[in-house]
Structure formats: structure tokens, C-alpha cells
Structure 1
Amino acid sequence: MNYLRGDLRDQLAYVGQDVVRTGLVIGSGGNLSARLPDGDSCWVTAGGTWLDRLDRPSFVRVRISDGSVRTEPPTYSDDPLRSGGPALDAGPARPSRTAGQTRQDGAALPDGTTLPAQRAPSAVPSVAGGASASVGVPAAARVAVTRRSVPPHVQGEAGPSSVETAAGPSASATLPTSEVALHLATYRARPDVNAIVHLHPQTVLLLDALGEQIRLVTTDHGFYLRRIARVPFRLPGTSELAELAADATRDGTNCLVLSRHGCSVLADSVELAHKRAANLEEAARLTYRALAAGRLADLPELPAEFLARLDAGATSV
């Protein structure tokens, strides 16, 4: 296995760097999440973060069932793939690395990408009765909140517009992305999904604006994407968009185009979600090239025998 392993936040940070480096999006064009081993919480990017500048403090832990922000450290075992103390997310247990395999913070990854050195996480507020912070729940007394670019159209939504704690007037907390509802609704609808990559890829959105469907041109497109569903435009960050997107995935669809907004790509691992996002944009680019050449109508479907093999559960291309 040559994909980045260990802490889920490191994996998501790698996705963020790669999608910007390869031109899928500009730096702030999307948000990322991964479900934790407990099944009912996830790491999600904080509001206002840049995808190519993510590190562990760039993520917020949110409970999937009720949307509350969790501020206590997860009670999982140490990450066996990192040395020098306990991990704060502890992904699924894996065999320890052999000598020479430990990745140092700031070191180059196999493809040449260098993740930023980890900075020490800032102190998080403790909360009476189980350190957590409820998102979007009215309260008589609120504490100071670090707000990171919550769009005006989200302010009135029942969602992550505020963080409530019982830690006193000097406490502060980081908000998740304003599109956290999209991630949570999908995790609730799809228990098999462990990672969601939501991006604003340029060619995907251009084709949507032109009213053109993305074609699956190569066997890789067929294998990783299989089918692409389109969700009609709703305001970003709203519960309406989140529920429409979640409903569109209930039949097993893993790739959505959110009209005039972006894509939502799902998988059982961060690595597979990353591959699907890359293949979705590549399929869009090839579709656009055929359109620009005036040959889109001549672009055939993938061979029926190959699609039948996929439907039968083929696991390789």
C-alpha cells in the first residue's frame, strides 16, 4: 500500500494538497471529511480553511447523529503508525511500521508532496457533563466563538452557525465548515461511507453550467465512478441541499454533481474517495474536449461487456 496511512487528518490534508496541486480546484474550493472508528463522529475541515494548507488543527470533530462539535480527545488507542505519543484520532489499528518507515512531519510523500509540519493544537474548552459543543442549538448564554467565513445565506439555517458550550465567557471554539450538513446527512444515509470529498472542480462545473452530462470515457472512469447523479441547485450550506444530496446516494451512487456548486464524492476510505474525485474531473475534461472538437455526439458508451462485469462485482480494471 503506497497511500498515506495513519491519522485520518493527515490523509485528508494530503487530498487537499493534491487536488490543488493538480488543478482540480483553487485553494478554498471545497471541504473534506472522514468518519472515525466509533462510527458516529467524523473529522471535517474547519470553516475558512485552504485545502492546500491543512494540518491536524484544521479539522473539527463532529458527532454525526446530532451535529454536535466534540471537544474532548477521542478515546481510541494510539496510532501504531506514528511515533512519539498518542494520536488524537487513532484510525483503525494496522501493523506497526518496520524500521525506516516512520514518516516525519514535513517529509515528502511518495509523489513528492510535502505536508506541512504539524503545529501544536490549541487548547480546547472543556464542557461540563462531557466535553462537547452543540452546533446550531439556541442558548441563553454563549461564549466567544472563532468564526471562519460563515456565508450570509447560512446564518439563518439550522446548522453550524454557532457553538454552544458551558465553559464560561473566556472559552472559544472552532466551527466546522458551513457545509457540514452535507457531510452529516450523507453519513447518516450511507453507513458504508467513511470519507467524503466535496470539491468545486472547474471542468465539472463548466459542463453542468452548459447543460452537458459528463461521459465515462475510459475503463477507469467506469470502474471508479460507474454512474454520476446530478443534484439540482440549492443554496450551499442549506439543509435542503444536504438532504437532496443524501437521498441521491441511497441507491449506492458515489459521485454527485451539485449543480452550479461542486461535486460530492463518497467512498469507504479516504484513498478511494480521492481516486474517484480525480477520475470525475478527468472524465469531465475529456468530455469537454470532445465537445470543443464538435465530436461529443460521436463519443460512445463504454463497452456493454465491461459494464456488465462491473455490475457483477468486478474488483479490478
Structure 2
Amino acid sequence: MSEQLRDRDRLVEELIEVGRDAVGRGLVLASAGNLSARISDREFVVTASGTWLDRLTPADFAVLSLDASVSGDAALGGPRPSSEWKLHHRAYLARPDAECVLHLHPRTAVVLASVGTPIRRLTLDHAYYLGEIAVVPFYHNGTDELADTAAEALRDHNCVVMQHHGCSVVADTVQMAYRRALNLEDAAQATALAVQLGDTTTAFPEDGATHA
């Protein structure tokens, strides 16, 4: 078995575990959301259309090309890719350093972004893993407008929340991407609690975002 194939199998297994855990935590429901990982300089795998993230198998991943034109078909093999494949394709083009893109639907983060309440980083983990959180307006799923707008935000951010829709996070590993997704929703829940307590300004100190 080639090294590239072994890496692909390992990445798929990591994405399968992330999908299972994300559904268990309520970060995505039913067949919503999609996951991907870069498997070479020119290819990535992404979950197939209609798949439930807690029921994924290795057969549920399509292989797509990063060399495809902006509006062209990127599919190289496997099942039909998620309708959101462009969201991943554009993210990898915008972020050559990204090895994983996770698109989930974290409820609190999406609600806060949709009603115009900024998600605040209140803990050390929020500050360390998230950085500044981008928010972009609503565009219909699967559209070039959604993919291009989210990708542009990801040029300078690791997390973007799409109003009335979901989030995309990028990282150099699957595990780091998932840490960011988890911390995004945790920051949103902490922000919502702070607002309920009457606080609208407290945030983590700007000079304190280091990790032991």
C-alpha cells in the first residue's frame, strides 16, 4: 500500500470519528454538515451527498480535484460529493496551509451570528484555538456566492460563521480543526450566558492568548 493511500485511509478514519462525535454533541443534525481533508497537493476527500455524519464509512467519501475550474465539476472518483463541495474546494484554494475543512451547524454560534451578537472569546482555550471569528451573510447552500464569501473570510481567519446556516473551520490537522469547532460553539455558549447575566463587553485579554 502506498504512503499516500495509507494517509488517505487514516484521514478518512479521523473524519469518521469527528462526524460521530459532532453528531453526539449536537453540532450537526441528520444529513447536514460535511467534512473534508486534503490528501495531496491536488486532491481532497469530502463526505458524500446525503450522508449522516454519525453513520459514515470509508465508502462515503468522494475524491475531488483542487485543479478544477471555479465553476467546473471537481469529482475524480467515489460517490457523488456533498452539494457543499465548493465550500471545501474554495477554502483549500484560499488557504494552502489548510489540511482539513469542517463544515458544521453549531446552534448557538449560528444563532448569535444571525441575530448580530458577536461571539466573544472568554477563556484561554477560546483565544488560543480560535483567533478572531469571521461572520458572513447568508447565501444559499451549494452556491458560488457562499463558497467564495466563506473562502475569502478564511484567508485571514480559521473560523467563519455563515449567518442562518453553519460554520467552516480550517486547520493543519483534522484534530486541530475539530478543536476549533468545539471551541467555537463553547465560546458561543459562554457568550450567550454572559449576555443573560447582563454582560456585553467582557472578553479575554488581548495580550493573554498564549498556551501552556
Structure 1 CA distance for aligned equivalents of residues 196 and 28 of structure 2: 21
User: What is the TM-score when the length of structure 1 is the normalising length?
Assistant: 0.61
| RMSD value, Cα | 1.5
What's the counterpart of residue 88 of structure 1? none
Question: Structure 1 residue 279: deviation in Å?
Answer: 0.4
- Residue of structure 2 in register with 1:53 after alignment: 55
* Alignment match, 1:124: none
- Of Structure 1 and Structure 2, the greater strand share is in 2
Deviation at 1:228, TM superposition (A): 0.2
Task: Give the equivalent residue in structure 2 for 1:271.
Answer: 175
CA contact (8 A) 2:33 2:53 kept: yes
Please list, as runs of the form range in 1=range in 2, the aligned pairs for 1:166-315 lying within 5 A after superposition.
174-251=79-156, 253-293=157-197, 295-297=198-200, 299-307=201-209, 310=210
CA contact (8 A) 1:65 1:188 kept: no
Deviation of 1:176 (Å):
0.2
The number of aligned residues is: 201
Shift of 1:69: 1.6
What are the residue-to-residue correspondences of 1:128-147 with 2, within 5 Å? none
Deviation at 1:234, TM superposition (A): 1.0
Partner of 2:4: none
Unaligned runs of 5+ in 2: 1-6
List per-residue Cα deviations over 1:224-263 (Å, max 9, x = no partner): 0011001111111101111111111222x10000111100
- Opposite residue 199 of structure 2, the aligned amino acid is L
Match of 1:14 in 2: 17
How far 1:304 moved relative to its partner? 3.0
Q: Equivalents in 1 of 2:108, 2:31: separation in Å? A: 16
Which amino acid in 1 is paired with 2:152? D
Secondary structure at the aligned position of 1:286 is classed as helix
Q: What is the alpha-carbon distance in structure 1 between the residues aligned to residue 48 and residue 150 of structure 2?
A: 21
CA distance in 2, matches of 1:290, 1:208: 15
2 CA distance for matches of 1:236 and 1:296? Answer: 34
Q: Which has the higher contact order (CA 8 A, sep 6+)?
A: 2
TM-score of the superposition, structure 2-length normalised? 0.90
State the identity %. Answer: 44
The structure whose residues are more often helix, as a share, is 2
Larger Rg: 1
* Contact 2:60/2:79 (<8 A) preserved: no
Structure 1 segments, 4+ long, off by >4 Å, are none
Point out where structure 1 has 5 or more consecutive residues left out of the alignment.
72-172, 311-315
Report if the CA contact (8 A) 1:255-1:265 is conserved: yes
